[in-house]
Structure 1
Amino acid sequence: MANTYFDEYENLEIHELMLKDRPRQEAYYNAILGNKDLFKDKIVMDVGAGTGILSAFCAKAGARLVYAVEASNVATKVALDLIEDNGLTNVVKVIQSRVEEFVLPAEAEKVDIIVSEWMGFYLLHEGMLDSVLLARDKFLKEGGLLFPSECTIFVAPCSVPSLFDDWHNVDGIKMDTFARKLRTQKSSRPEITHLNPQDLLHEGVVFHRMNLLDVEASDLDSIQFKEVITAQKAGNHQGFCIWFDVRFPGEEFVLSTSPLSPPTHWKQCVVVLPEESCENLEEKSPIAFQITMKRSAADMRKYNLEGGFARPQHRGASQCLAPAI
């Protein structure tokens, strides 16, 4: 399973998708190059370096030494060339290795900063944060920094017109039955989609917040959330939307995957309700709900999302599995 995961990252189209994600690129560029005082003459580790572009940012920000640790063959097929093409071989050392197997050179200092773009759908999909935390515990100096350093998961009730309302009329043809069968086919996992801001019934509440200097890998096995909120606008309650933000140290920079922010390749994760549980809500209608994000026993890089909710005079429940993407 682990080899398959890393083999997938040898597909350069995956890196193309990430590199063309401007909010992602700009967040890391600004966080690193906008904090040159933090990087100057420092030793940095880039966990899951991929093409090596973040390592190059660190070198340009003034780092003395950068370990670009990448498990896939992209390390030797792409990252080495990128570092050489940009004249950074004296600073950036590309190492093809899983960080779990990486060993610092004899007598080498621990690192001052760990940089990584480890986030997956709904933040934790792919389970790469575990590797970053392991690197933190093995290689980061006391008082060292993590980029990003904090992350927050948000959740909000929402409408999902792409799975419900858009099928009432398709070029003059009613396709509600097709839509019902489509939702059934998709029901084993949440929908990964770009949700329009107007489809949110609430601005979102904090599902879970983490300081990456403190969190432990075992804390990621199961995350539970329970809340009662009131709808901030009227609309058809058809699901719950989940997204995340990450923050970087030093000068304040935030990367957000909110529907209210510029779109990213992470999109949003929508837990879709069964049709019989959907309901038109008035503004200020209360919604009580709980969601559990639990690591899958079958694949530790994926999570099961399970939830239940209740409204006045109506109770319902929804269960979904994490997307196998």
Structure 2
Amino acid sequence: MNVKYYQGIRAAVKRVKERGQPAIVLDIGTGTGLLSMMAVSAGADFCYAIEVFKPMADAAVKIVEKNGFSEKIKIINKHSTEVVVGPGGDMQCYANILVTELFDTELIGEGALPSYEHAHKNLVEENCEAVPHRATVYAQLVESRRMWSWNKLFPIHIQTDNAEKIIVAPSEMENCPGAPSVYDIQLNQMPWGDFTVLSNVLTMFSVDFSKQVNSSPTYHTVQLEPLVSGRAQVVLSWWDIDMDPDGKIKCSMAPYWVHSDPKNIQWRDHWMQCVYFLPNEEPVVQGESLYLTAHRDDYCVWYNLHKTRIARSKSNFHEERPVCECQAHLLWNRPRFGELNDPDRREHYTQALKKVLKADSVCLCISDGSLLPILAHCVGAEQVFTVENSAVSHRLMRKIFKANHLEDKISIIEKRPELLTSADLGGRKISILLGEPFFTTSLLPWHNLYFWYARTAVTEHLANNITVLPQAASLHMVVVEFKDLWRIRSPCGSCEGFDVHIMDDMIKHSLDFREAREAEPHPLWEYSSRCLSEPQRVLAFDFCKPVPQQPLSAKGSITLQRPGRSHGVVLWMEYQLTAEISISTGLIQTPEAQGECSWNPHYKQAVYFLNSTLEAKTQDSPQTVTYALEFNPKVGDISMEFRLII
């Protein structure tokens, strides 16, 4: 991407110079000043670099000065809409080259349109050069049960000893159009068999950044004929940008099945592809024309499918904007929907409940928006209580229970666990404590150990012979080589005509580049990886006992079994539901011979990045990774340190 930007900037500067004009650049959202330094290196006479975030602007000042560009680059620590042009203002004159990187996966989600609109009216010359010059948004209609499971709650089939029970979503949830927020993922990791293409790739709309941009709400409709009959559920979308007016310098986000060179796709993590959910699935028939409409406002895009072309009016535009009315899309994110719809996972919990439940069991469930209380009731618990901390989850679960005539069978308690009283439980002692565990505030895998703290808080309400499900948890780790994810912590490379030391210095000054000391959450099913070691359990947590007062620690080493580059250590939790049944939030099967990893798609795993410049392991020089981990019960977090020993 840096190469494309530099080529586009260099071409824009050349066009301005050929017209006999000085090249005055405006760089909106300069960040560390990279594009501004590219512009000056390409021959620009002066560059105004705008950055609203003060720490980043301060870093840009230091980087620009260190690399010798301070005389030709002015860092302006303001929002672009506050910048004044003229004598005594922030800019002495209007710019004739507009350079930005204001885009996200959805193209306009970072406010690109309002920024361009203001810049053209107030900061740049008419018909200025723009890098990028234009963007084009594409869409493709597909049917995909897997992706649709990220948006709707499917009927739940529970097999009991006597009959099969079916749990359904409330009609309000069935008919809810969902939320307008895009689900951005690495579609290049989506197997071809997980979706059916229903349409050709459709060009939805373009934006010319060299001309006046309008951020007012609008929409664009394209006619299509389904390639096959099916059920339209999802719109996949992406964009490309032309860095120059002729479209010779192009950058595309197209997924592998429509990419011009599928084997050589440039990997990106900031710009991926979009998954949009239609308000409801629609049957489509091969050859019968339909109309796909892309709506947008200044920050958001959403799609609708129609049998006839819709009339262009603002009233229609606002009426069709999706708003979640069922509250499920406010409480459950996309992976959580997928998790709740996972039949294999649900079967594990059902079988575990059948092993521990008795006819007189009194159950208490502690999780956010969990369906475990329904499973417990259907399997045969005498009485079921569930704790919901928030009013949103309380209302949602009440709707689900009511839709299945369970409102008198399952009692919802809207309290934090530590505030629970005997009266809330009708004076009963809890014989089975349940949890998935899942909590909406969790970021890293071990944050769901909040269940352990909740278990400790309700100790006085537990029977002496309490059964806890899950009965225990354990932290696991493995050393991995990433195909691409390691790049997010790697210094920038060089591009033709632009000194690599500029970008290396940028990293060092703005990010204080060093080995990480904390783990980061990443959905690893979206990132190809190989296990270089065997998975290893490093910490254990016994839920049958209260949280201990003293820290839990583990030290040791793990030997690398396969050749490769040790990019990082992945950590995840496994929950022991019963002695025989467990659930993994990380690896879901033993790594294959070459170490290829399969990760649970419903969770983010924790990644601790090692120094990415370490030499690759060979058979003659075996490597080990030493580790030191400590769970601090006072704060509920895990400190960690890893070192690669050659």
TM-score with structure 1 setting the length = 0.70
Query: Which residue does 1:290 correspond to in 2?
Result: 293
Is this contact kept in 2: 1:68–1:93, CA < 8 A? yes
Is this contact kept in 1: 2:177–2:323, CA < 8 A? no
Query: Which residue does 1:305 correspond to in 2?
Result: 302
Deviation at 1:56, TM superposition (A): 0.9
Question: Is the partner of 2:81 in helix, strand or coil?
Answer: coil
- 1:69-107 per-position Cα deviation (integer Å, ceiling 9, x unaligned): 111114433211221232211211111111222123528
* Whole-angstrom CA distance in 2 between matches of 1:216 and 1:274: 29
* Whole-angstrom CA distance in 2 between matches of 1:104 and 1:32: 23
TM-score with structure 2 setting the length = 0.38
* Whole-angstrom CA distance in 1 between matches of 2:12 and 2:186: 31
* Whole-angstrom CA distance in 1 between matches of 2:34 and 2:144: 36
Query: Which residue does 2:205 correspond to in 1?
Result: 208
Query: Which residue does 2:322 correspond to in 1?
Result: 320
Query: Which residue does 1:227 correspond to in 2?
Result: 222
Deviation at 1:126, TM superposition (A): 2.6
Deviation at 1:209, TM superposition (A): 1.9
Relative to structure 1, the CA distance from residue 213 to residue 31 in structure 2 (aligned partners, 3 Å threshold; closer, same or farther) is closer
Deviation at 1:161, TM superposition (A): 5.3
- Give me the CA root mean square deviation: 3.9
- 1:129-175 per-position Cα deviation (integer Å, ceiling 9, x unaligned): 22223222223234421111222222220244543489xxxxxxx9x
Residue identity over aligned pairs, in percent, reads 20
Is this contact kept in 1: 2:96–2:129, CA < 8 A? yes
> Runs of 5+ in structure 2 lacking a partner?
151-157, 159-165, 260-264, 309-319, 334-646
Is this contact kept in 1: 2:51–2:57, CA < 8 A? no
* Whole-angstrom CA distance in 2 between matches of 1:29 and 1:70: 20
The amino acid across from 1:60 in the alignment is: S
Equivalent of 1:248 in 239, 243, 253: 243
Relative to structure 1, the CA distance from residue 194 to residue 287 in structure 2 (aligned partners, 3 Å threshold; closer, same or farther) is farther
Is this contact kept in 2: 1:133–1:212, CA < 8 A? no
Query: Is 1:52 aligned with 2:57?
Result: no
Relative to structure 1, the CA distance from residue 88 to residue 321 in structure 2 (aligned partners, 3 Å threshold; closer, same or farther) is farther
* Whole-angstrom CA distance in 1 between matches of 2:222 and 2:126: 37
Relative to structure 1, the CA distance from residue 160 to residue 86 in structure 2 (aligned partners, 3 Å threshold; closer, same or farther) is farther
* Whole-angstrom CA distance in 1 between matches of 2:279 and 2:121: 43
The amino acid across from 1:204 in the alignment is: V
Equivalent of 2:4 in 17, 23, 27: 27
Query: Is 1:42 aligned with 2:23?
Result: yes
Question: Is the partner of 2:14 in helix, strand or coil?
Answer: helix
Deviation at 1:55, TM superposition (A): 0.6
* Whole-angstrom CA distance in 2 between matches of 1:211 and 1:125: 17
Query: Which residue does 2:491 correspond to in 1?
Result: none
- 1:275-312 per-position Cα deviation (integer Å, ceiling 9, x unaligned): 7x265x776564433332235xxxxxx3362523349x
Query: Which residue does 2:278 correspond to in 1?
Result: 273
Relative to structure 1, the CA distance from residue 165 to residue 138 in structure 2 (aligned partners, 3 Å threshold; closer, same or farther) is closer
Tell me the matched-pair count.
279
Query: Which residue does 2:125 correspond to in 1?
Result: 141
Deviation at 1:28, TM superposition (A): 1.2
Query: Is 1:73 aligned with 2:62?
Result: no
Larger radius of gyration: 2
Deviation at 1:228, TM superposition (A): 2.5
Question: Is the partner of 2:61 in helix, strand or coil?
Answer: helix
> Runs of 5+ in structure 1 lacking a partner?
1-23, 167-173, 296-301, 312-317
Query: Which residue does 1:194 correspond to in 2?
Result: 186
Relative to structure 1, the CA distance from residue 124 to residue 233 in structure 2 (aligned partners, 3 Å threshold; closer, same or farther) is same
Query: Which residue does 1:18 correspond to in 2?
Result: none
Query: Which residue does 1:258 correspond to in 2?
Result: 254
* Whole-angstrom CA distance in 2 between matches of 1:96 and 1:112: 21
Question: Is the partner of 1:271 in helix, strand or coil?
Answer: strand
* Whole-angstrom CA distance in 1 between matches of 2:53 and 2:220: 35
Is this contact kept in 2: 1:42–1:63, CA < 8 A? yes
Question: Is the partner of 1:208 in helix, strand or coil?
Answer: strand
Is this contact kept in 2: 1:59–1:91, CA < 8 A? yes
- 1:201-260 per-position Cα deviation (integer Å, ceiling 9, x unaligned): 43422211222233443xx32221223212346776321122222212256212222224
Which stretch shows the higher mean deviation, 231-240 or 76-85? 231-240
* Whole-angstrom CA distance in 2 between matches of 1:187 and 1:28: 36
The amino acid across from 1:254 in the alignment is: K
Counterparts in 2 of 1:5-16, with a 5 A limit? none
Is this contact kept in 2: 1:208–1:223, CA < 8 A? no
Relative to structure 1, the CA distance from residue 288 to residue 144 in structure 2 (aligned partners, 3 Å threshold; closer, same or farther) is closer
* Whole-angstrom CA distance in 2 between matches of 1:222 and 1:29: 32
Relative to structure 1, the CA distance from residue 161 to residue 87 in structure 2 (aligned partners, 3 Å threshold; closer, same or farther) is farther
The amino acid across from 2:225 in the alignment is: T
Is this contact kept in 1: 2:36–2:49, CA < 8 A? yes
Equivalent of 1:95 in 76, 79, 83: 76
Relative to structure 1, the CA distance from residue 96 to residue 137 in structure 2 (aligned partners, 3 Å threshold; closer, same or farther) is same
Is this contact kept in 2: 1:75–1:96, CA < 8 A? no
* Whole-angstrom CA distance in 2 between matches of 1:211 and 1:113: 14
Question: Is the partner of 1:187 in helix, strand or coil?
Answer: coil
* Whole-angstrom CA distance in 1 between matches of 2:289 and 2:207: 27
Relative to structure 1, the CA distance from residue 255 to residue 234 in structure 2 (aligned partners, 3 Å threshold; closer, same or farther) is farther
Is this contact kept in 2: 1:236–1:278, CA < 8 A? yes
* Whole-angstrom CA distance in 2 between matches of 1:271 and 1:186: 11
Equivalent of 1:86 in 49, 67, 81: 67
Is this contact kept in 2: 1:222–1:293, CA < 8 A? yes
Query: Is 1:129 aligned with 2:113?
Result: yes
Question: Is the partner of 2:297 in helix, strand or coil?
Answer: strand
Query: Which residue does 2:315 correspond to in 1?
Result: none
The amino acid across from 1:212 in the alignment is: F
Question: Is the partner of 2:62 in helix, strand or coil?
Answer: helix
Relative to structure 1, the CA distance from residue 319 to residue 140 in structure 2 (aligned partners, 3 Å threshold; closer, same or farther) is closer
